[in-house]
Structure 1
Amino acid sequence: MAHPHGPTGQPTPSHGHDREIESLEEFDAVVHRGSLVGHRLQSLDLTGRTFALLTHDTTGAVFLGCHMEAEAAAKVRADGALVFPPVPDVPFNPYRGLLYSPDELFAGLRAEGYDATPDALTYEWFRRTRADGDIFASMLRSVHDDAISDALDELLAGTPVVGVMGGHAMARGSDAYAGAARLGRSLARQGLTVATGGGPGAMEAANLGAYTAPHPDDVLDEALEILAKAPSFTPSVTDWARAAFDVRDRWPRGGDSIGIPTWFYGHEPPNPFPGHIAKYFANATREDGLLARCTAGVIFLPGAAGTVQEIFDNTTPNYYESRGEPTPMVLVDQAHWTERLPAWPLLQALAAERPMAARIALVDSVDDAPAALRALAAAPPIV
C-alpha cells in the first residue's frame, strides 16, 4: 500500500500503532524497508544500531527514552527528529513501550526482600514526589501512564476481556478466595481474557485461576495450599509474594491474564499471577481504563468502597450507552449486595426501562457467575 508523502517529499508511515517501534526486531524490519521517517521509537537500546541511524532518514521521528551513541543522537537531531533522552535517577522508565511482567516488578525479591524491588522503589519515589508540586515529577508520571495505556490497548486489541472486581482483604486459604480462583479459571477456559485490579485478595485469586487454567484441576488445589501458608500481604509483603513465586516456579507455564494495579495504593502490592501488569500512578486513569477495556462484561465479587465505586463507574457508560451497547454486569452474593452494601437495588432502579436492564444480574454463588455472564451476553438489550 502506498504511503502519503510528507513535506520533505519522503514517504511517511501510516497513522497509529504501526508507526511505533518497541523492539530491536521491529527497528531492524523498518530499517530493512528503508525509512525511519515519522516513526516513534520507545525505550530502545540503539547503541548497537549507530550505522543504521547514521545512514537512514529519521525526519519527523520521535525517540522516547532511547540510548544512542553521541554521534547518532546528533545526526537524528540534525534530521529534525525529536529526542527525549532517558531520565536518570528514577526507578522506572516513563517511556516504556510494553507492560510490566511480574518478574520485572518483583526483581530482587528472593535475595533482598520486597523493599528492594522495582515495585517498592517506585512507590517510594511516588510517595516522595506526589505532594511536592514538582512539575517534572508530575510530567514523568503522566508520560508513564500514557505509555502504559498505549501498551495495554495494543495488547488487548480485538480480545474479549472480562473484568473480575473484588476486595483486597479476601484472604488466601478462605472459601471465598478459592471460589474467586475457580471463577478466574472457568472464565479463562471459556476463551476470555481475565482482567482484574491486579492487587491481592479477590483480584489475585481471579488471576491465579486464569494462571492455572491450562493445567488439570488439581493444580489449583495444590496452589491454594501453597498460598495459604502466607494468607495476607500484611504484615509481610515479602513472604506473601514469595509464596506466589513458589507457585509460579512449580508450574512455570501458566495461562495469561491482565492485572491493572496502581501505586496510588502503595500499601497494596501487585499480585504476581497476571502475565501482563499495567501499573499506573493515577488511580482515576487506572479505574476508568480497567472498566472501559472489559468488553465482555464485569463480575463484581463482594468488596467494600472500591468495589462499590467500580460498580457505578461501570454503570454510568452502560446507562448512557456512551460506549455502545451495554455490557454485562454480574454481582455475586445476594446478601452482600442487598443487605450489607445494598448496591443491587440502586442498580436495578437505574436500569429500569433502559437497554442495560437486560444486562445485569445478581447471583448468590460465585460458581453461578460464568453461566450468568453467558446468558446476559446472549440476551438482546431492552429497547
Structure 2
Amino acid sequence: MTHEREIHSPDEFDAVLAAHGSLTGYRIQSVDLTDRTFALLTVPAAGAVFLGCALQPEAAAKVRADGALVFPPVPDLPFAPYRARLYSPEELYEGIADRPYEDTPDALAYGWFQRTKADGDVFASMLRAIHDDAVSDALDEHLAGARVVGVMGGHRMGRGTDAYAGAARLGRSLTRAGLTVATGGGPGAMEAANLGAYTAPFDDGVLDEALELLAKAPSFRPSVTDWARAAFGVRARWPRGGDSVGIPTWFYGHEPPNAFAGHIAKYFANATREDGLLARSTAGVVFLPGAAGTVQEVFDNATPNYYGSRGAPTPMVLVDRVHWTERLPVWPLLSALAAERPMAARIALVDSVDEAPQALARLAP
C-alpha cells in the first residue's frame, strides 16, 4: 500500500472517483463523507478501509457489505486519532485570541492524556497509539524529499536573551540554505529556531523586530496565554513566513508547542517523538546548550551513527565549547566513542551558534 492509495480530503475522494470509479483497496482517512452518500452507494468499495470518517448509516452499511472495514469516529475526544495531516499552530491554539490557553484544543488534549495515561484502559492506550502512528505517517509524507536538519536545545532559553537571538539566526541561516529545520517544537531554543525559519523569507530586520516584540512575553511561565498571543501577533504582522517542523509531545504538558513551526507533529509518546525527530534529521543535527534532555538527544543520535544502523553517519555539531566540555562534559565522551569510527569525520564542536551552519556544511558527506 502506497500513499497514492490514501484519501485525505473530500477533493481527493472526488478525484479518485472521477478517475477510477471505485474505492476498492483505498484507505480513506478522517474525511467527512456525510454529503458523499450517493457516491458511496454506487461505487464498489471492496478492501477499502474507512478510518475515522463520518458516514451516513446507509453508506456505512453499504461499504461494509462490499467488504470494506469501517473504523468510525470516536465521540467526545479532543483530538482525531485517525488524522490525515500534521497539526498547524492555528489548529492547536484555536480560540487563543479570545480565550485562555486552557480552553484550546492543545490544552484539552493534554488534559485527556493526564486523565487516561495511568488508568490502564486499553482503549485509551490504543487511541494514543493510533494517533501517534497517524502523525508519523503524515510526517513522513510531509518530509518526503526534504533535507532535514534537527536543532536541539533547552526549553528554558528565554525570549529577549542573546542565546535566543542566536538560535533564531541559526534557524534563519539553515532555512535560507535550503534545509528544512526540525525542532522539538516547544519553547526556548526550539521556538527560536522555528522563529528563524519563519522569518527567513523576509529582510533581516524583520527578525530583529520580531525578537523585540516577543521579548515582552519572555517565557511561557506564568502565562502560556500571553506567551502564545505574542507569537501569533508576530505571525499576524508578517504573515506567510517560512516553513519548518516542530515535533513536540503531550508527555511534557508543561511545554506548550510554539507557534512558529508551520507543521507540527505532536505525539503522546515521548519516546516515539524523540527517536522520530532524530531519525528524520537526515542532513544533520545541531545541539545548542541544554540540560538532561539535550544530553540524552546527543547520545540517542550518536548511537546509530556509531553502529551505522541508519547508514552513513549524519553530521553532529555541538555549539558552545565551554558548555559541552566543562559544564556538561559531553564532548570528551562523544569524541572517545567516535575514535576510529566513521562518525569521527561527522562531528564538530564550535564556539558560537553563528559557526554552526558552516560546520554543518563542512561535515556533509
How many residue pairs align between the two structures? Answer: 364
Q: Secondary structure at the match of 1:68?
A: coil
Shift of 1:52: 1.1
1:143 counterpart residue number: 130
CA distance in 2, matches of 1:269, 1:173: 18
Paired residue for 2:190, among 183, 203, 207?
203
- Offset of residue 269 of structure 1: 0.2
Give the corresponding residue for 1:173.
160
Corresponding position: 1:59 with 2:46 = yes
- AA in 2 matched with 1:219: V
Q: What is residue 293 of structure 1 aligned with on the other side?
A: 280
Mapping 1:1-383, distance limit 5 Å: 15-32=1-18, 33-378=20-365
In 1, the alpha carbon distance for the partners of 2:302 and 2:22 equals: 46
Distance of 2:340 and 2:183 partners within structure 1: 30
Cα offset for 1:25? 1.5
**Alpha-carbon distance in 2 for matches of 1:271, 1:354:** 37
Note the residue ranges of structure 2 that are not aligned, 5 or more in a row: none
Counterpart residue identity of residue 23, structure 1:
S
Paired residue type of 2:114: R
Q: 2:70 & 2:13 partners in 1: Cα distance?
A: 16
**Deviation sequence 1:146-200 (CA, Å, 0-9, x none):** 0000000001011100000000000000000000000000000000000000000
Query: In the alignment, residue 358 of structure 1 is paired with which amino acid?
Result: A
- Is the partner of 1:111 in helix, strand or coil? coil
Give the whole-Å Cα distance in 1 for the aligned partners of 2:323 and 2:46. Answer: 59
Contiguous gaps of at least 5 residues in structure 1: 1-14, 379-383
The normalised TM-score by structure 2 is 0.99
* Corresponding position of 1:6: none
Percent identity over the alignment is 79
Q: Secondary structure of the residue that 2:364 maps to in structure 1?
A: helix
CA distance in 1, matches of 2:76, 2:39: 29
Counterpart CA distance in 2 for 1:312 and 1:25 is: 44
Structure 2 distance, partners of 1:229, 1:207, is 18
> Which secondary structure state, in structure 1, belongs to the residue aligned with residue 314 of structure 2?
coil
SS at match of 1:163: strand
Instruction: Give the superposed CA RMSD.
Output: 0.5
SS of equivalent residue, structure 1 residue 281: coil
Query: What is the SS of the residue equivalent to 1:112?
Result: coil
Partner Cα separation in structure 1 for residue 5 and residue 297 of structure 2: 34
